[in-house]
């Protein structure tokens, strides 16, 4: 049995970390509970400033990020963010 040379640390829908041979398709920030595209300009700026990297997490898909309790980024996922925001406002009115 061959062991893959590279594995990636991902976060599952249950919020727990696990190792995978498949890299994450979405990135997130553990403290702010925000997820977005890997090429998000806001995340890339934060990474360039430093300090962000220690709280960076990765997800295989968007569904897993949402299930783990993360919200969409307003910069790289504006449509998803608007939908999430509208849902939050509606739930506060009830």
Query: Domain 8-93 - what CATH class?
Result: alpha beta
Tally of helices (H runs) and strands (E runs) in the chain: 3, 6
- Residues 33-83: pLDDT tens digits? 999 999 999 999 999 998 789 999 999 999 999 999 999 999 999 999 999
Residue 87, φ and ψ in degrees, nearest 5: -65, -40
Burial (CB count within 10 angstroms: exposed 0-12, middle 13-18, buried 19+), residue 65: buried
- Residues 10-22: pLDDT tens digits? 999 999 999 999 9
CA distance 71 to 93: 19
Going by DSSP bridges, is the β-strand pair 26-29/56-59 parallel, antiparallel, or unpaired? antiparallel
């Amino acid at each position: 049995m061959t062991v893959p040379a590279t594995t990636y640390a991902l976060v599952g829908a249950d919020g727990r970390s696990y190792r995978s041979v498949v890299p994450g398709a979405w990135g997130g920030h553990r403290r702010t509970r925000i997820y977005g595209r890997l090429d998000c300009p806001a995340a890339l700026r934060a990474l360039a400033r430093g300090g962000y990297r220690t709280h960076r997490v990765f997800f295989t898909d968007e569904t897993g990020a949402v299930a783990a309790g993360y919200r969409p980024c307003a910069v790289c996922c504006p449509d998803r963010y608007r939908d999430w925001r509208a849902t939050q406002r509606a739930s506060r009115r009830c």
